Amino acid sequence: MQKCTACNLPETYETIEFDENGVCNICRQKEFKDEKIDWQRRAEMLSRVIEKHRGKYEYDCILPFSGGKDSTYTLWYLVKHYKIRPLVVQFNHGFMRDTLMENNRRTFKKLGVDVISFTPNWKLVKRLMLETLVRKGDFCWHCHTGIFAYPMHIALKYQVPLIFWGEPSSEYTAYYNYEDDEIEQVDETRFNRFINLGITAEDMYSMIKDDYQCDPRELTPYTYPKLRDLKKLKYQSVCLGSYIPWDVKENTKIIQQELGWRGDQVEGMPWDEYSYEKIECSMQGMRDYIKYLKRGYSRVSQMTALDLRNGRIAKEYADKLIADYEGRKPPSLTLFLEYLGISEDQFNHIVAKTVVPPFKPDFEGMEYAPKTDDFDRWYREDEQDRGIIFKNPV
């Protein structure tokens, strides 16, 4: 596969393009971010956005919150620097880990904020995971649509027009581009462009209603609110990282110092190098494993690419991390198969249909990655609860 000569990302990476020197568009975006964007002007814009909404509603803003490094930094930054009064909204996807929950409790108490946490129906979640795994080779539809849609419903319910997200997508992909010098709007267009895999909640209900007992109201948290209602609210849904230079490693150091935020081990990752990355989900190793099977790279490549762009590691070391860690099975594969009630052969057959050429996965030749310290505490279902409850068992 062709890879970027600067950051190693392969041609199977979403939205990637290479220039005449073999450098990818994500790297070029980073150059533009560092050299061309007037961050002082962006900071002034941020102040105007906040002052426009401050004190006019029950809360100054809605802040969607996973408890990962980015949403934690966003909450800390806005409370610390702007004394803002947010309503923190958490969509619990069902796989939150002990360290994350403890981080959350500590963060909320230290910052003194109001919090709403919503956990959807687990049995429905499993059915949604299976449907998008089969259709898209991606089981995370329920999580991503819920995380981005549910806080918008809360914004309407509380009539709070300002919604603050953390990291802009331009840090990793070119769905939005720093070079356009635009402020990325986290709106329905963005939601449909790359969040919901091209499947709306209404689509999803039609897909599963014939074999799964489901009330359409159960899909409400996954629907994007009506545009007319959001326009009537005069909503503004933006990323903090569009107004201040976003630096994941520096942000992480700050929340570790200020909030006692702790990292964790993630399956298939070099734990010492990236203990801060994607600690919020026990199925992260599965997500990265599927990405490798489909596209020939996983999160290790993404993280080393980020460090290479920032000049923080040598290319030889990035190559070594990728060679040592990518392409290994996560121990959570067993739990994942039990949740969905499928065999590993069925799983491989499903994923094989979504492979992105020219990559060709070797399903049989992969060794297991080490177990994380908390692996034995991850949710396990009793035998009678495993799999999906279909109307007519298959």
What is the rounded CA–CA span in Å between residue 337 and residue 354?
A: 18
- Residue 245, token pair as written in the block: 């230079």
Report pLDDT digits (tens) over 259-287: 999 999 999 999 999 999 999 999 999 99
Residue type, 213: Q
Give yes or no for residue 179 having a pLDDT over 90: no
Please determine, for residue 208, whether its predicted confidence score (pLDDT) is greater than 90.
Answer: yes
DSSP 207-225: HHTTTS---GGGGGGGSPP
In the three-class reduction of DSSP (H, G, I as helix; E, B as strand; rest coil), residue 246 is classed as coil
Sign of the torsion angle spanned by Cα atoms 321, 252, 108, 67: negative
Phi, psi dihedrals of residue 62, rounded to the nearest 5° = -95, 135
Question: From edge to edge, which strands make up the β-sheet containing 114-118?
Answer: 114-118, 86-91, 61-64, 162-165, 236-239
* Strand 236-239 versus strand 61-64 pairing type: unpaired
CA distances from 41 to 45, 166, 243 (A): 6, 19, 9
Q: Taking every pair of C-alpha atoms in the chain, what is the biggest distance, in angstroms?
A: 61
Q: What is the mean pLDDT of residues 62-79?
A: 98
In sign, the C-alpha dihedral spanning 57, 74, 265, 343 is positive
Q: Is the pLDDT of residue 383 over 60?
A: yes
Please determine, for residue 23, whether its predicted confidence score (pLDDT) is greater than 80. yes
pLDDT of residue 29: 92
Residue 393: the pLDDT is 59
Per-residue pLDDT at 391: 87
pLDDT at 323: 96
Number of C-alpha atoms within 13 angstroms, CB side, residue 43?
A: 9
Question: Residue 110 is inside which H or E element, if any?
Answer: helix 98-111
Helix, strand, coil percent content, the chain, rounded in steps of 5? 50, 10, 45
Average pLDDT over residues 364-376: 95
The three-state secondary structure class of 18 is strand
pLDDT band at 304 (very low <50, low <70, confident <90, very high): very high
Q: What is the CATH number of domain 39-242?
A: 3.40.50
Predicted TM-score (pTM) of this structure:
0.96
Query: What share of the chain has pLDDT > 90, as a percent?
Result: 95
pLDDT single digits (tens) 227-254:
999 999 999 999 999 999 999 999 999 9
Retrieve residue 234's tokens: 């005069």
- CA 117, 122, 125 angle in degrees (round to 5)? 100
Task: Give the integer Cα–Cα distance in Å for 374 and 351.
Answer: 27
Residues forming beta bridges with residue 164, ordered by sequence position:
238
Q: Is the torsion defined by CA of 257, 48, 44, 236 positive or negative? A: positive
Segment 104-132, tens digit of pLDDT:
999 999 999 999 999 999 999 999 999 99
**Structural domain spans, the chain:** 39-242, 264-377
Cα 5 to chain centroid distance, Å, stands at 26
Mean pLDDT of 207-230: 96
What pLDDT, on a 0 to 100 scale, did the predictor assign at position 394? Answer: 53
- What Rg value do the Cα atoms of the chain yield, rounded? 21
Tell me what the pLDDT averaged over the chain comes to.
96
Q: Give per-residue pLDDT as tens, 152-178.
A: 999 999 999 999 999 999 888 888 888
Q: How many residues does the chain have?
A: 394
- Average pLDDT over every residue of 303-332: 96
List pLDDT tens digits, range 3-21. Answer: 999 999 999 999 999 999 9
* E-strand stretches of the chain: 61-64, 86-91, 114-118, 162-165, 236-239
Tokens 């603050």 belong to residue: 164
